[in-house]
Amino acid sequence: MRDNMTNQELADLIFPNINKTIEDYEEIYPERNLKEGAKVVRFAPSPTGFMHIGNMMSATINYVLAKSSGGVFYLRNEDTDQARSVEGAVEFIYHTLNHYGINPDEYEFDGNIVGNYGPYIQSERMEIYHTFIKHLISIGRAYPCFLSSDELNQIREYQAKSKKRIGIYGRYAKFRDVSNEEAAQRIRNGEKFTIRFRSEGDFNRKFIFEDLTKGKIEMPENDIDVPIMKSENLLPTYHFAHVVDDHLMRTTHVVRGEEWMSSVPLHFELFKAFGFKMPKYIHTSLILKKDGDIIRKISKRKDPEALMFYYEEKGYPAIAVIDAVLTIANSNFEEWRQNHADTPFYEFPFSPKKMSSSGALFDLDKLDNISKNYLAKMKAEELYENYLTWAEKYDEHVYELIHKYKSDTVSFLNIERESKKPRKDYENYSSIFSKIWYMYDEEWDRELHYDFGCIQDKDEIVRIVREYLHNYYCETDSEEEWFLKVKELCDKMNYASNMKEYKENPTKYKGNVADFTTAIRVVLTTSSMTPNLYDIMKILGSKRMLKRLEIFQEKY
RNA sequence: GGUCUGUUGGUGAAGCGGUUAACACAUUGCCCUCUCAAGGCAACAUUCAUGGGUUCAAAUCCCAUACAGAUCACCA
């Protein structure tokens, strides 16, 4: 055994098959040629098979940042945790993003790589990581560590008990200063090891960095010898992959959750060890949830609305969800949206400074409101098509009905639409049917609940509706003629056709026009709350209306 | 326990030393009206977690306390 094994020799022993250098990779992935100010950003989820609202917010912010600066948005699959990886998750994420109008410029799945900075799947970048780790070992900034998990636990317990800082640093870093010969011997003996970064930081020194949303933040330097490569599968840890990937992919801005803030000093030291420029950071607040009296982080398990699938199933238009997300993400988005109603969201000049620094509650009421406005603005035909597409996937029964009665459905959806003040009846596709079911004859065999207004007496209602349908209603009447006839019958049956007169002398009459039309409305629809009656009658036609009078007589 | 971050109405929030403390959603009331929706008009924080301080003047600056969240893994 030789006495003086060099770092380079140790590195060669650990990675005998790595022949590239980090300089080689600098050439393979050169600086991107983009215009001044263009941002290169990424969405880098772990492929767990779900997309949650926090992911969505991060993806949206990234996309807006890239688009509005003429930059690049790429999708990177962080699958270094083999245990949690789910097959097909990237495709799923890719399609979910597409559904919301977010299209990555660079990505990879099914063996297809789009973009020059791939592979975009971490498990396919082994050689790259190993090259960079080998380099760190060769310059003495990383070393193999043979601490077993039992030993690690003991250290942790001891530190916790004696109120010391937890972690492998200082004298706890047992293998940090072991000779290269000893390390080599252990490796040759087949001992398991991880590679740890050799930190040169000092916990008593301060380190200042600028987060784009939170401003200047002062933290102690990192002095922990963190693992950069796992023993089991030789994959890098998140921290190491972040530094290598974001450098090689030439990321300029890293948008990530607030939970990463505390590892910035570590990342800083890692970037410095390679001599790389650090990207800018935007740490986003967590999305919270009010659960009874307590406010907590939104949870994938407990809160259905945490998963993006929820919004698709409920049938919220994609753009409404994006707007709701941006409303929480950036405080001046709402104002911008008011002045730019038809501008694509990615043209919004996103400002990290305007991000709220405390966590926000995701407000479902607000989403409903945004969504109502979008649905109200659509043309009936367009609404119908979107509704049909939604129903095809989520509600077969509705799909069949509206498909069969397309023309009536569109006419109904068109009532009081396409005006300056369109109706805002629907907040999402799944809630539409409960408000329009009565337009379909097939639905009338269900159990009916007539929602009466002032007139409760069945015989009186039948008298009114029968008289009206037989002797007054005419399909060719204009709306004014129609209303004149309604009022005429009103007077005849001693209901006040003039509201003012009624208010002055309520006792003189049996009721007023409103009560009168409500009776008709309820017989035709069971509901006292419907869009314009005249239009509904027009769609229904005399024959079907008479049938509904029959049903009423039988069932009520 | 160490280290960070935050705390303005039911919700999202604007404000950054002098404002009647914006705006949007929600809620409530009135008006309009064939119902509903829409629309119009109102109401809704005497106060910015609490306690001190600086100042002629504080939600805004400083300090302390409380509370909440994050992090301290061979998970990301």
**Residue A493 in contact with residue A464, Cβ under 8 Å?**
yes
Residue A541 lies in a domain: yes
Nearest by Cα to A143 from A109, A179, A114: A179
Say yes or no to pLDDT of A292 above 60. no
Spatial distance from the CA of A168 to the C1' of B6 (Å):
30
Residue that is last in its domain, among A445, A467, A502? A445
Domain of residue A525, CATH code: 1.10.10.350
pLDDT at A512: 86
**Residue A250 in contact with residue A40, Cβ under 8 Å?**
yes
Say yes or no to pLDDT of A29 above 80. yes
Q: What number is the ipTM of this complex? A: 0.87
Question: A266 and A135 in one domain?
Answer: yes
Question: A139 and A273 in one domain?
Answer: yes
Spatial distance from the CA of A203 to the C1' of B17 (Å):
37
For residue A297, what are the β-bridge partners? A288
Nearest by Cα to A318 from A394, A391, A390: A390
Burial class (CB in 10 A: 0-12, 13-18, 19+), A188: exposed
Spatial distance from the CA of A175 to the C1' of B25 (Å):
58
pLDDT at A303: 73
CA of A358: nearest nucleotide by C1' is: B6
CA of A241: nearest nucleotide by C1' is: B76
Q: Residues A388-404: pLDDT tens digits? A: 999 999 999 999 999 99
Question: A550 and A525 in one domain?
Answer: yes
Tokens 């396919």 map to which residue?
Answer: A124
SS3 state at A302: coil
* pTM for this model (two decimals): 0.89
pLDDT band at A15 (very low <50, low <70, confident <90, very high): very high
Say yes or no to pLDDT of A510 above 60. yes
Spatial distance from the CA of A258 to the C1' of B48 (Å):
25
Half-sphere exposure of A384 (CA within 13 A, CB side): 19
Burial class (CB in 10 A: 0-12, 13-18, 19+), A396: exposed
Say yes or no to pLDDT of A291 above 80. no
pLDDT at A90: 85
Question: A519 and A489 in one domain?
Answer: yes
SS3 state at A532: coil
**Closest CA-bearing residue to C1' of B68:** A295
Domain of residue A133, CATH code: 3.40.50.620
Residue A372 lies in a domain: no
Question: A487 and A394 in one domain?
Answer: no
Give mean pLDDT, residues A217-223. 90
In the sheet with A287-291, reading across from the earlier edge strand, the strands are A294-297, A287-291, A360-361
Nearest by Cα to A467 from A525, A513, A520, A540: A520
Mean pLDDT of chain A: 89
Residue A11 lies in a domain: yes
Residue A60 lies in a domain: no
**How many whole angstroms separate alpha carbon A200 and alpha carbon A222?**
8
Question: A270 and A167 in one domain?
Answer: yes
Q: Residues A95-127: pLDDT tens digits? A: 999 999 999 999 998 888 999 997 999 999 999
Residue A480 lies in a domain: yes
CA of A516: nearest nucleotide by C1' is: B34
Say yes or no to pLDDT of A476 above 80. yes
pLDDT at A357: 64
Structural domain total, chain A:
3
CA of A214: nearest nucleotide by C1' is: B5
CA of A512: nearest nucleotide by C1' is: B34
Structure tokens at A333: 């988005």
Say yes or no to pLDDT of A369 above 70. yes
Question: A514 and A405 in one domain?
Answer: no
For strand B, the positions having any atom within 7 A of a protein Cβ are 1-8, 10-15, 23-26, 33-39, 68-76
Which residues have CB under 8 Å from A4's CB, separation 6+? none
CA of A82: nearest nucleotide by C1' is: B75
Question: A255 and A197 in one domain?
Answer: yes
Spatial distance from the CA of A358 to the C1' of B17 (Å):
24
**How many whole angstroms separate alpha carbon A320 and alpha carbon A367?**
7
Structure tokens at A390: 């939604």
Question: A514 and A441 in one domain?
Answer: no
Residue that is last in its domain, among A284, A314, A348? A284
Residue A212 lies in a domain: yes
Look at A289 and A231; give whichever has higher pLDDT: A231
Question: A439 and A538 in one domain?
Answer: no
Spatial distance from the CA of A529 to the C1' of B28 (Å):
21
Say yes or no to pLDDT of A3 above 60. no
CA of A235: nearest nucleotide by C1' is: B74
**How many whole angstroms separate alpha carbon A402 and alpha carbon A13?**
70
Structure tokens at A15: 């990675």
Q: Residues A34-59: pLDDT tens digits? A: 998 899 999 999 888 788 888 888 89
Q: Residues A116-161: pLDDT tens digits? A: 997 999 999 999 999 999 999 999 999 999 999 889 999 988 888 8
Of A284-293, A410-419, A451-460, which gets the smallest average pLDDT?
Answer: A284-293
pLDDT at A195: 95
Q: CA-CA distances (angstroms) from residue A501 to A94, A496, A507?
A: 64, 7, 11
Question: A499 and A412 in one domain?
Answer: no
pLDDT band at A210 (very low <50, low <70, confident <90, very high): confident
Say yes or no to pLDDT of A356 above 80. no
Give mean pLDDT, residues A156-173. 88
For residue A289, what are the β-bridge partners? A296
Say yes or no to pLDDT of A30 above 70. yes
**Closest CA-bearing residue to C1' of B25:** A366
Residue A263 lies in a domain: yes
Q: Which domain holds residue A191?
A: 7-20+126-284
Residue A98 lies in a domain: no
- Answer positive or negative: Cα dihedral of A484, A485, A488, A493: negative
Tokens 């800082």 map to which residue?
Answer: A165
Question: A278 and A247 in one domain?
Answer: yes
**Residue A322 in contact with residue A60, Cβ under 8 Å?**
yes
Say yes or no to pLDDT of A65 above 70. yes
Spatial distance from the CA of A242 to the C1' of B9 (Å):
42
Spatial distance from the CA of A215 to the C1' of B63 (Å):
22
pLDDT at A330: 84
Residue that is last in its domain, among A284, A316, A347? A284
Spatial distance from the CA of A436 to the C1' of B72 (Å):
56
